[in-house]
Structure 1
Amino acid sequence: MSTMQALVLNRHQGPLELTELNRPEPGPGEVLVRIAASGLNPLDMKIRAGEAAHAKHPLPLVLGIDMAGIVEAVGAGVDAFKPGDAVYGMTGGVGGIQGTLAQYAAVDAALLAHKPANLSMRSAAALPLAFITSYAGIVDRARLQAERTVLVQGGAGGVGHVSVQLARALGASVFATASERDHDYIRSLGATPIDYRAANVEQYVAAHTGGAGFDLVVDTVGGPSLDASFAAVRHFGHVVSALGWGTHALAPLSFREASYSGVFTLYPLLTGQHRAHHGEMLREATRLAEAGALTPRIDARRFALRDTERAYEALADGTARGKIVVDVDAGIDTALAG
C-alpha cells in the first residue's frame, strides 16, 4: 500500500477533509506506525482555529498529537521496536509534523513506548500528552516526595485526572477541585474533592490545610485558577502550570516565598531536543498502568475517522466525560483482544 487516508485541514476553521496521501516511509531513527486510535486534546481545537501560534503548525496540516498503534516498519538505527509491537506516544500534530488523524505516521522512535499490556489502544491513545505534562510538572519540576499535600486544579480534566493518579502513586495526599458531578470520580481515584463553586480559595485552604496551604499546587486550568493556585500554596511551596497565559499578580506567591514552574510539553516536538525523555516518561506511564495505578478516563462515545467532526463537536461543547478518542482503525484493538 503506497497511499493512506488522512484528515487534512486546508484553512483555519475549515472542514477536516478525508484525503488520500502518500504513505510515509520511516527514515533513520523513525518508526512507521499503523495508527489504531488518536486522542483529541483542547490544543487541537486551538490549532484548527489558528489560535495556537506557539504550536507552529503550518497549513495544510494533519491534526492529532496523541496516538496508539502497531509498528509496521522501522528505519535504520532503530532497535528498541520491531514490526508488530504495540506502541503509543505524543508524536506529531505540531511544528509541521504530520498528526495522528491518519492511517499511518512515520515518527521519531525516541517519542514512543510499548503500550501498557492491560490497556486497549483507545485507552493508551488518551494518555501521552496528559501524562507527559503531569510528569514534567510533578516529577521533573516539583520533585514531589511522599506524604506531601497536593492540590490539583481541575482534577477531573484530561491532565488533571492523570495528575491526581500520578501524585497518589508517589505517595502524596491529594486534593482536587472539580464540579460536584465529578466528586465521586475524584474519590474513586483516592483524592479529596473540593467544590470550587461552593468555597473560595481562602475557605478551602482553611478547611483542608488549617490555613497553611498545599505543598504543591498543580494548575491544569489557567487564568483565574492559576491566580487561585498562587493563593493556595504553602510557605516555600511550589506551583506548576502548563497554562501560564494572561496577566497574573505574583505578589501572593512572593508573600509565601513559593516558587513557580511552567511546563511547555511541545518543546521536544518543536525543537527536536530532549525527545528521549518523552519516551522515558511514557515507559513510566506503562509501568504505572500495568501496576493498576494509572487508568485514563475515556468518553464512552465512539468516533471513526470519518466522524471526527462530531468528535470535535463533543470536545468543544463540554459534554465529554473523559478523553475523546477517534478510532482510526478499530480492527487493531479487536484483533489484539482476540
Structure 2
Amino acid sequence: MKAITYRTYGGPEVLEYREVSNPKLGPDAVLVRVKAASVNPVDWKIQAGYLDGFMDAVFPVIPGWDVAGVVEEAGVGVTEFAPGDEVIGYVREDFVSRGTFAEYVAAPIRTLARKPANLSFEEAAGLPLAGLTAFQSLTRSLQVRDGDTVLVHAAAGGVGSLAVQIARSLGARVIGTAGERNHAYLRGLGAEPVAYGEGLADRVRALAPQGVDAVLDLVGGEALKVSPGLLATGGRLASAVDGAVLGLGGQYVFVRPDAGDLGALTELAERGELQVEVAATFPLQQAADAQRLNREGHTRGKIIVVP
C-alpha cells in the first residue's frame, strides 16, 4: 500500500510518500480502507520528537491518528463491525508507528465508532481527535451542565468550534475568543464572540459580570493566565494545550480513545447538533504541505488528507 512515513524525527521535510507493507490484523482490530484522515498539531509534535520521553516510536512511522473509512476485514475476535461498515476512529496506540496517513490502517475496535451518516468522509475524518478532546474536556473535566456559562479560548479552531457546539448541546451559554474575522462564524455556531489581545478579560467580564462557570483553554499562555480571574465562585478550568493549568488549580486534558464517546459524537452529528468545518483538503502525497499549513496555526476548521 501507499503511505506517508518518516524514518527519523524532524519537520515536514522528513515525510516520504512510498510503498509499505499492508498492516497485520490483530484479533481485536479491523482493517480500514482509509477514505480520509485529518492533520492535528500532535502529529507534527510527535514527528519533531516532542513526545519521545513517554511514547516509543517504532521507525519508520506512519503519522496520523484520525481516520474515516470503510471496514475491509474484521479480526477473528471482532463482532462489533463487519466488512462494508463505514467507521471513524481516533486510532491511537501506546506507541507510534502505524498511523492513518496510508491507504489502510489496522484499527483496534476500542478506537472506532460508526461514521455519522450525514457527514462526508472528509468531514467525518476531522471529528475524532478534536471532537473527543472537546467532549471529554466539557463532560468529564469541566462537568458542564445545562445553564452554565462556558468560555472557550480559540473557539474557531478545530477543537474550539466543536467545543462550542457540544457545550451548546449540553444547554450552556458559550463565550468564545477568536480573531475578528471569525466572529460571524462563531455567532453562527451559537457562541458570543470576543476578540483576543489586550483587554480580553474586561471584554469577557462585560458579557459575564458574575464570572463564567467553566473555561476551556485551547491557546495557553496569556489567555490561560487570565482565566482563573474570570471564573465565578466554584468555577472550573481545564486546558488541552498548556500544563501550566495545573499550577492554576485546573485540569490538564490529554484525550484518550473511547468508543462510547465517539458514538456520542456520531449521535450529535446525526441530530444536526454538530458539524465539522473542513479548511482544506490535500492528496496524501502532499501531506507535508498539509502539515505546513497546520503548523501555521491560523486555519479555521480541519485540514484533511485523502489517499
Q: State the alpha-carbon separation in 1 of the partners of residues 85 and 43 from structure 2.
A: 27
Relative distance call for 1:93 and 1:317 in structure 2 (3 A) is farther
Asked if structure 2 preserves the Cα contact closer than 8 Å seen for 1:57 and 1:93, the reply is no
Residue 237 (str. 1) matches residue 235 (str. 2)? yes
Residue 144 (str. 1) matches residue 144 (str. 2)? yes
Relative distance call for 1:187 and 1:244 in structure 2 (3 A) is same
Relative distance call for 1:123 and 1:55 in structure 2 (3 A) is farther
Q: Which residue identity does 1:108 align to in structure 2? A: P
Identity of aligned residues (%): 39
Relative distance call for 1:54 and 1:177 in structure 2 (3 A) is farther
Relative distance call for 1:247 and 1:121 in structure 2 (3 A) is closer
Aligned to 1:49: 48
Q: 1:281-336: CA deviations, max 9, x gaps?
A: 1101010000110001111x3311111111112112345332100012xxxxxxxx
More displaced stretch, 285-294 vs 52-61: 52-61
- What's the secondary structure of 1:193's corresponding residue? strand
- What's the secondary structure of 1:113's corresponding residue? strand
Relative distance call for 1:319 and 1:242 in structure 2 (3 A) is closer
Relative distance call for 1:31 and 1:244 in structure 2 (3 A) is same
Q: Which residue identity does 1:8 align to in structure 2? A: T
**C-alpha displacement of 1:65:** 1.1
Q: State the alpha-carbon separation in 1 of the partners of residues 236 and 114 from structure 2.
A: 32
Aligned to 2:8: 11
- What's the secondary structure of 2:174's corresponding residue? strand
Relative distance call for 1:249 and 1:83 in structure 2 (3 A) is closer
Alignment of 1:174-253 (within 5 A): 174-197=174-197, 199-201=199-201, 203-210=202-209, 212-246=210-244, 250=248
* Match for residue 281 of structure 1 among 261, 286, 296: 261
Q: How many residues align?
A: 304
Q: Which residue identity does 1:231 align to in structure 2? A: G
Q: CA RMSD in A?
A: 1.8
Q: State the alpha-carbon separation in 2 of the partners of residues 326 and 31 from structure 1.
A: 21
**C-alpha displacement of 1:227:** 1.2
Asked if structure 2 preserves the Cα contact closer than 8 Å seen for 1:155 and 1:161, the reply is yes
Relative distance call for 1:219 and 1:119 in structure 2 (3 A) is same
Asked if structure 1 preserves the Cα contact closer than 8 Å seen for 2:238 and 2:245, the reply is no
**C-alpha displacement of 1:54:** 5.5
Alignment of 1:96-107 (within 5 A): 96-107=96-107
- What's the secondary structure of 2:20's corresponding residue? strand
Asked if structure 2 preserves the Cα contact closer than 8 Å seen for 1:55 and 1:94, the reply is no
Q: Which residue identity does 1:221 align to in structure 2? A: V
Relative distance call for 1:34 and 1:248 in structure 2 (3 A) is closer
- What's the secondary structure of 1:234's corresponding residue? strand
Q: State the alpha-carbon separation in 2 of the partners of residues 222 and 36 from structure 1.
A: 33
**C-alpha displacement of 1:197:** 2.4
Q: State the alpha-carbon separation in 2 of the partners of residues 56 and 288 from structure 1.
A: 32
Q: State the alpha-carbon separation in 2 of the partners of residues 25 and 106 from structure 1.
A: 7
Asked if structure 1 preserves the Cα contact closer than 8 Å seen for 2:205 and 2:230, the reply is no
Q: State the alpha-carbon separation in 2 of the partners of residues 74 and 248 from structure 1.
A: 42
Question: TM-score, structure 1 length as denominator?
Answer: 0.85
Runs of 4 or more, structure 1, over 4 Å off, are 246-249
Q: State the alpha-carbon separation in 2 of the partners of residues 66 and 57 from structure 1.
A: 19
* Match for residue 288 of structure 2 among 269, 293, 309: 309
Asked if structure 2 preserves the Cα contact closer than 8 Å seen for 1:98 and 1:105, the reply is yes
Aligned to 1:326: 305
**C-alpha displacement of 1:97:** 4.1
Asked if structure 1 preserves the Cα contact closer than 8 Å seen for 2:183 and 2:193, the reply is yes
Q: State the alpha-carbon separation in 2 of the partners of residues 121 and 247 from structure 1.
A: 35
Q: State the alpha-carbon separation in 2 of the partners of residues 93 and 99 from structure 1.
A: 9
Residue ranges of structure 2 left out of the alignment (5+ in a row) = none
- What's the secondary structure of 2:61's corresponding residue? coil
Q: 1:171-230: CA deviations, max 9, x gaps?
A: 1011000010100000000110011226331x12320112x2100111111222221222
Aligned to 2:155: 155
